[in-house]
Amino acid sequence: MALTTPHAYRRPGFWRRLRTGNPTEAQLGLILLIPAALVLALVMFWPIAQVLWQSLHFERLNVPARGRPFIGFEHYQRMLWGSDMTWDARHLLGWRLLAFAGAAGLWWGAARGVLRRPTALIWTVIVVLVAGLWMGYHPGEAGRWNDARFWNAFSITLLITVASVAGSFLVGLPLALLANVESRWRWLVRIALLIPWAMPRVLVGVMFAWLFNYTNGVVNDLLGRAGIAGPLWLSRAEPAMWAANITIVWATSAFVGLILLAGLQSIDESLYEAAMVDGASRLQRFWAITLPLLRPSIAVALIFRTLTAIQTFDIPYAMTQGGPGRALETLGIYVSNTTNSLNLGYAAALAVALFVMSLAITVLYLRWIYADD
């Protein structure tokens, strides 16, 4: 109260600061973020909201007479448990409610601190699986209880994800270690790492389809020279899976290598010198210094790789269009095929499944990364 000036200084208000071209940092920041927010809202968030909404509707563009009625979760039911279940739904409803109650109980317990969250998660998975099997749900098996094509696509996506992520790490780590060596040929190494990254994925698929060609492909020629009869790579299910995975690993291991290379370059050289003074062998140094310090880079590469692997579309599509049969029909290709057959409602539900999978994996990874901080 001691100091009351007659004409108190008023800080210029929001609009005045804007008008005079001298906004505060926070104001300026918000203004500069507007274009990005608009773009993301228009092209990312709005479409995702639409897909969620669409997946609750029936819509087949080739059956325009039925319009676009709201059908609730029927698409998901068809996806996970099969479409011809409706006649039996009442019978199964009890079991389902029981399973749901069990899971709810577990999570209630977890919230009250009776059991730990990871334990609750594991038990939930067990309850869902047991209840599902009890009700006749067998993933990946042609049966009346499920959309076998979805589970086929699901397991293929899972297989490609696990195989190609592991593969790209097994190839990418040596690539990074080699690229980290000082030499006159470093520019060539850089180019060799960048070409697989920069090639359009579709064209990589086309290129490798030619390399894996049965009669005129390089792979079979080299195998033939080694005395091995090369398989019909792209017309048998199992070799096609191998071929697709090899192609994906080729296309993505370079990117993994680049990220790991950045991690390698940020490791302090003096650590190695200290270890050398202590008499650590090359392998020991690798295990004790390189791998632990590389963990953040490995985590980042792992996230990017897993998420792109779940969305695998271009390479199998270019190589065999999801064939032979449906041996390479990933979830991505299934979504695209369903869209092309004009069943937009079900395609949206499948897309949501894909979205939920990538979201779940992102969250898991983020928790893993931030667990140490």
Partner 1 sequence: MRVAVVVGTALLVINGTFPLVWMMLTSLKDENELIRVPITYWPEAITFQNYVQVFDQLPFARFMLNSAVVSISATVICVLVAALAGYALGRLNMPYRRTLLTGIVMTSMFPALVLLVPLYRMFLGMDVPLLSPLVAFLHDVGMTFMPTEVRTPNLLNTYWALIIPYVALSLPIATLILTSFFQLIPRDLESAALVDGCTRVEALFKVIAPVSAPGVVTAAIIIFVNSWNEFLLALTFNTAQTMRTVPVGITMYQGEFAFPWATISAAITVGVLPLVALILLFQQKIIAGLTAGGVKG
Q: Which of residues 284-303 bind partner 1 (CB under 8 A)?
A: 296-297, 299-301, 303
Residue among 79, 173, 175, 240 that touches partner 1 (CB under 8 A): 175
Single out the segment in contact with partner 1 by CB under 8 A; choices: 73-81, 99-107, 173-181, 269-277.
173-181
Single out the segment in contact with partner 1 by CB under 8 A; choices: 45-53, 87-95, 134-142, 287-295.
45-53
Is 275 one of the binding residues for partner 1 (CB under 8 A)? no
Single out the segment in contact with partner 1 by CB under 8 A; choices: 97-105, 113-121, 160-168, 199-207.
199-207
CA distance linking residue 204 with residue 220, whole number of Å: 18
What are the DSSP calls for 70-103, one per residue? B-TTHHHHHHHH-STTGGGHHHHHHHHHHHHHHH
Is 216 one of the binding residues for partner 1 (CB under 8 A)? yes
SS3 readout for 147-163: CHHHHHHHHHHHHHHHH
Please identify, using beta-carbon distances, which residue of 134 and 287 lies nearer to partner 1.
Answer: 287
Is 40 one of the binding residues for partner 1 (CB under 8 A)? yes
Which residue in 130, 154, 12, 17 sits closest to 80, CA to CA? Answer: 154
Strand, helix or coil for residue 125? helix
Is 228 one of the binding residues for partner 1 (CB under 8 A)? no
Nearest approach, Cβ of residue 76 and partner 1 (Å): 15
CA distance linking residue 336 with residue 189, whole number of Å: 37
Q: Is the peptide bond between 324 and the residue preceding it cis, with omega within 30 degrees of 0?
A: yes
Residue among 79, 156, 179, 294 that touches partner 1 (CB under 8 A): 179
Nearest approach, Cβ of residue 7 and partner 1 (Å): 25
Nearest approach, Cβ of residue 50 and partner 1 (Å): 4
Is 18 one of the binding residues for partner 1 (CB under 8 A)? no
CA distance linking residue 149 with residue 146, whole number of Å: 8
Instruction: Name 276's Cβ contacts closer than 8 Å, sequence gap at least 6.
Output: 285
Is 208 one of the binding residues for partner 1 (CB under 8 A)? yes
Residue among 116, 117, 144, 190 that touches partner 1 (CB under 8 A): 190
CA distance linking residue 220 with residue 231, whole number of Å: 8
CB burial of residue 136 (10 Å; 0-12, 13-18, 19+): middle
What does the DSSP 8-state code read for residue 202? Answer: H
207 sits in which H/E element: helix 201-211
Is 218 one of the binding residues for partner 1 (CB under 8 A)? yes
Is 244 one of the binding residues for partner 1 (CB under 8 A)? no
Residue among 99, 259, 319, 349 that touches partner 1 (CB under 8 A): 259
Residue 369's alpha-carbon distances to 112, 265, 267, 363, 372, in angstroms, are 26, 20, 19, 10, 7
Binding mask 299-338 for partner 1 (x = CB under 8 A): xxx-xx--x--xx-xx---x-------------x--xx--
Is 158 one of the binding residues for partner 1 (CB under 8 A)? no
Is 232 one of the binding residues for partner 1 (CB under 8 A)? no
Is 364 one of the binding residues for partner 1 (CB under 8 A)? no
CA distance linking residue 81 with residue 343, whole number of Å: 18
CA distance linking residue 75 with residue 97, whole number of Å: 19
Is 235 one of the binding residues for partner 1 (CB under 8 A)? no
Is 135 one of the binding residues for partner 1 (CB under 8 A)? no
Is 233 one of the binding residues for partner 1 (CB under 8 A)? no
Nearest approach, Cβ of residue 291 and partner 1 (Å): 17
Residue among 19, 42, 117, 155 that touches partner 1 (CB under 8 A): 42
Is 369 one of the binding residues for partner 1 (CB under 8 A)? yes
